[in-house]
Every structure is written in structure tokens, then in C-alpha cells.
Amino acid sequence: MQSIFPTYTIGHFINEPDSSTEFELMRFEQMEEPNVDDPHKHTFYEILWIDAGISRQAIDYAEYELKPQSLFFISPGQLHFFEEWEHLAGGSILFTEDFFLLNHQDKDKLFELSFLDNFYANPLLQLAKEDFDEIRHMIELLGREKQRKDSSAAICQSLLHVLLGQIQRRIETQAGKTTASKYVILYKKLKNLLDQHYRENRSVRAYAADLSITQHHLNLICKQVTGKTASEVIRSRSLLEAKRLLTFTQMTVSEVATQLGFFDPSYFARVFRDETGLSPTAFKQVMSEKYPL
């Protein structure tokens, strides 16, 4: 199925759509408004920081208000609305997976960062002044290196790794707990599989087999990381896509159900209502008023 949303590279956000750049650091005060449509998806990671002003962002139907001393994380594949960015002081760090892994073969290094890859439940991190100042210091170092005529990708990558490590530490401090990295890694691998197979209505057993673990182990991982069972995590991914299709296409409820492997529309409607509190028809009506096609 062809994507119904535009998907943009970093080049699009610097108004150079043919650019193959894998890392950029931009300041709101200096950047031109990117020529992109909302809603959209990214092929890259983005971290926004706010020094002054207020911005409103939405990711997959959840809306957030960004205030000074806050960070906001956007990952590849998420449905993103940048609702307001004028009169802001701050900026944006954009990088691809390949840039993060430059000269590193182990993708698990990226997976260990819980706030990336659609994992962290709240992509908005509000920081105390002392903690934000520490993050901003590293951003300044990264920005200075990026602006050098002899800028080094390896140095930029190293500074980026330090910055991301600092952010991870702040998230764990605020959460008051640290989830075992092996659980985070396996959970992210499950999320990647869900992004590939959400239309197939696959079982917990099938996903556990793909990960070479037992159903019991997969349930344990999901409960440890999200507080939900594996079945609930799998169902939530399918219903997220249902919300997108109901909002941004002319597909009927029955067509959406079939598209996602629910061949009994009545069962699909019950599952959808349990998840959202609305019937698919009512949800579609509410969204049509908020996001007219």
C-alpha cells in the first residue's frame, strides 16, 4: 500500500530536497520555513530545543506544548504536525541512522536510547534550568563544530553521542528507574517488526518466533517496558494505522478493517471503541472536522 503521507529527508527541511546530507543543526531564528506539508513523516531523527517562546506540536494524534527549557523528539515513521514555530528561540538537530552509526556496526547502540524510535511514551522532556544548561552547552559545542570550515563528521558524531547520552540520563532520572537495555533493545526490535507487519493481524506467537524468544518472554518485555501486554502493544499499532486511515483517506470503516486484517467489521469496531472510547464512525467524523481533507 502506497503511503498516504509525504515522507521527507533532511534535505527537504533545509529547502534542498536533492541534498543527501545526514546531519544538520539549525536555529529557529535563522532558518527559512521549510517547504513541507503537514502532516508528514521523517526518514531521520529530530531533536528540538526551546530557549524561548512556545511551540505546539502533534505526533500521531497526541498534542504537546513546548516551553522554554524543553526538548522534543521526533523519530522516523511518526506522523508529525509542526503547528507553530514562529517567534521561537531554539533550534533543531537532525540526523540519520547512518550518521549515528558512522563507523559503528552495532545497531543496538542506537536502540539503547529509549527516547528514539517511537519508544519513549512522552516525546516532550521538560528540564530544570541546571540540566537544560548542561544540554545547551553540548548543543553549542556541536553547533560550533558543524560551522567550522574543516568540520569533521567523526567529531560531530562523537559530540552527538555525548548529547544523546546526557538526554538518556535525564530521562532515566526523571522516570526514577532504569529499564534493562536488553529489554529496550528487544522491544524496539518488536516495534520495527510491527511497522512491517501491522496489516497482517499476526499473533504474539509469530512475533516471538521472529525475535527467537518465547511468548512468555515477549510478554515480560512488553510489561517491563510499557506496562502493557504484548497483545495490547500489537493491537495498538494496528489501531494507530486505523486512526490514520480514518482521518486522512476516504476509506470506509469496512475498508479500513479489511486493510488491517480485521475481516469482521463488527469485531474491528468493538476493538477500536475499547481502545479509543469512540466508534470508528464517530472518530472519523470528529477527525474530519479537525483535519478536513
Q: What percent of the chain has pLDDT over 70?
A: 92
**Is-cis flag, bond preceding 265, omega within 30?**
no
Tell me which H or E stretch contains 170: helix 153-175
Lowest mean pLDDT among 45-49, 181-185, 246-250: 181-185
**Cell triple for residue 200?**
497482517
Q: What is the pLDDT of residues 28-75, one digit of tens each?
A: 988 888 888 878 899 999 999 999 999 888 888 888 999 999 999 998
Q: What is the pLDDT of residues 128-181, one digit of tens each?
A: 999 999 999 999 999 999 999 999 999 999 999 999 999 988 988 887 767 778
Report the pLDDT value the prediction gives residue 121, as an integer from 0 to 100.
62
Pairing of strands 23-27, 89-95: antiparallel
Closest CA to 36 of 54, 55, 58, 11: 11
DSSP state of 69: T
One domain for residues 262 and 169: no
Whether the Cβ atoms of residue 68 and residue 128 lie closer than 8 Å to each other: no
One domain for residues 20 and 164: yes
Which carries the bigger pLDDT value, residue 119 or residue 123? 123
> Is the pLDDT confidence value at 104 over 70?
no
Report the pLDDT value the prediction gives residue 58, as an integer from 0 to 100.
86
**Cell triple for residue 237?**
499499532
Q: What percent of the chain has pLDDT over 90?
A: 60
For the segment 19-30, the average pLDDT, to the nearest whole number, is 93
Name the pLDDT band for 106 (thresholds 50, 70, 90).
Answer: low
For the segment 202-220, the average pLDDT, to the nearest whole number, is 96
Taking residue 52's Cβ as centre, other Cβ atoms within 10 Å add up to 13
Q: Which of residues 114, 143, 175 is at a domain's end?
A: 175
Report the pLDDT value the prediction gives residue 291, as an integer from 0 to 100.
76
One domain for residues 189 and 169: no
One domain for residues 272 and 201: yes
Residues 6+ apart with CB under 8 A from 283: 243, 246, 272, 276
For the segment 97-122, the average pLDDT, to the nearest whole number, is 72
DSSP 3-state assignment of 51? strand
> Is the pLDDT confidence value at 257 over 70?
yes
Name the pLDDT band for 279 (thresholds 50, 70, 90).
Answer: very high
For the segment 244-253, the average pLDDT, to the nearest whole number, is 91
Sign of the torsion angle spanned by Cα atoms 94, 98, 101, 106: positive
Report the pLDDT value the prediction gives residue 179, as an integer from 0 to 100.
72
Residues 6+ apart with CB under 8 A from 170: 125, 127, 131, 135
CATH number at residue 215: 1.10.10.60
Closest CA to 88 of 131, 50, 36, 37: 50
One domain for residues 92 and 33: yes
Tell me which H or E stretch contains 33: none
CATH number at residue 160: 2.60.120.280
Name the pLDDT band for 119 (thresholds 50, 70, 90).
Answer: low
Q: Which of residues 123, 141, 175 is at a domain's end?
A: 175
One domain for residues 137 and 194: no
Burial class (CB in 10 A: 0-12, 13-18, 19+), 98: exposed
Please tell me the distance from the alpha carbon of residue 127 to that of residue 150, in angstroms, as a whole number: 33
Q: Rounded to two decimals, what is the model's pTM?
A: 0.85
Name the pLDDT band for 10 (thresholds 50, 70, 90).
Answer: very high
Report the pLDDT value the prediction gives residue 84, as an integer from 0 to 100.
63
One domain for residues 92 and 193: no
Tell me how many domains the chain contains.
2
Tell me whether residue 24 is in a domain. yes
Range of the domain at 282: 181-290
CA-CA distances (angstroms) from residue 40 to 3, 135, 156, 220, 263?
10, 28, 27, 34, 29
> Is the pLDDT confidence value at 264 over 80?
yes
Tell me whether residue 1 is in a domain. no
